Structure 1
Amino acid sequence: MIKIGDALPAAMLMEYLHAEDGTCSTSGPQAVDTQKATAGKTIALFAVPGAFTPTCSAQHVPGYVENADALKAAGVDEIWCVSVNDAFVMGAWAKDQKTGNKVRMLADGDAALAKATGLTLDLNGKGLGLRSNRYSMLLKDGKVTQLNIEGPGKFEVSDAATLLAQVKA
């Protein structure tokens, strides 16, 4: 399992952005190489079990949207939300959550990042398959400097306020 001091594993995430007028983009999903995208940056990354799920939609994403300016003022270059969903679902969720340019909604469609970090969640018995555990981490130049992993069914340490306090410390 990934830990503080480790590099974020190499993985290819996907991002789907809507056109400026809110319609579907004609360019399709764009690949995001985790190693290239984190190089030289401070990234607040949080992962959720699934787009449009109750806790993720009601608390997790809204908390990061609401705290985006404070996180960026504290030195965070980008905020990433990662979920084991496809890029189109993540794009629709971004539109629904009004993430705008505050939070990048990145798809880990085949759970490559979740598997590589060792932070998977087996929800096969609930019809959701293999997902990502709920967590947050602070990355500096691709290295983990903070890591907050939730217990099963919990939402206590991966919230935006906790990560913001850690960034400011």
Structure 2
Amino acid sequence: MPVLKPGDSFPPDVVFSHIPYTEEKGEITACGIPVSYNASKEWADKKVVLFSVPGAFTPTCSVSHLPGYIQNLPQFKAKGVDIVAVVAFNDAFVMSAWGKANRVNDDSILFLSDPDAKFSKTIDWADDASGRTKRYALVIDHGKVTYADIETERGSLQKSGADTVLASL
């Protein structure tokens, strides 16, 4: 499958790994049980913002990229966004811990794992050299892609940052 672009349908059978947040497993050292998260099914009738980072706990991702989405969550909701999700190649345990480390103590932002960058590879937005997901953002509205862009400069948030994606809604 080539790169997704506005007007395309979100691919069928996109499944990520996810550990749903629970209060009893709310401590950063607590491990939940990873479950399959069928994004194609879950997002079919919702407006979704999905942004991808090269890795949890990395400088640009932790200092700038994720915080922008956390801070702007009310504005995304006000624009009719049902789900905000972040994806990286890290396993579900790391993604869960990253959410807890950033005080996302609910599933207001989904922390999804794209093991082996499988989804990112299918849309040609994975780094072949490292095997990581690249930095990109998608808006999916009831199964249709309405925004899709990828960063071409290391550390840049010009195309995938919260402000840019929010302006596209």
Fold-level match, TM-score > 0.5? Answer: yes
Q: Provide the aligned length of Structure 1 versus Structure 2.
A: 161
Higher strand proportion (structure 1 or 2): 1
The separation in 1 between residues aligned to 2:88 and 2:80, in whole angstroms, is: 24
What's the CA shift string for 1:48-71, capped at 9, x where partnerless? Answer: 111111000001111000000110
What's the CA shift string for 1:4-49, capped at 9, x where partnerless? Answer: 11222232101113430424355x0111112101110000110011
- The 8 Å contact of residues 8 and 117 in structure 1, kept in 2 or not, is answered as no
Aligned to 2:69: 64
Letter in 2 for 1:52: F
RMSD: 1.4
Aligned to 2:14: 11
Deviation at 1:110, TM superposition (A): 2.2
Q: Structure 2 stretches of 5 or more lacking a match?
A: none
TM-score by length of 2: 0.89
What's the CA shift string for 1:103-141, capped at 9, x where partnerless? Answer: 11000012111111111113x4xxxx3111111111011
Aligned to 1:137: 138
Letter in 2 for 1:139: I
- The 8 Å contact of residues 44 and 76 in structure 1, kept in 2 or not, is answered as yes
Stretches (4+) displaced over 3 A = none
Letter in 2 for 1:157: K
TM-score by length of 1: 0.89
Aligned to 2:150: 149
- The 8 Å contact of residues 19 and 25 in structure 1, kept in 2 or not, is answered as no
Aligned to 1:166: 168
Matched, 1:90 2:91: no
Q: Identity of aligned pairs, percent?
A: 39
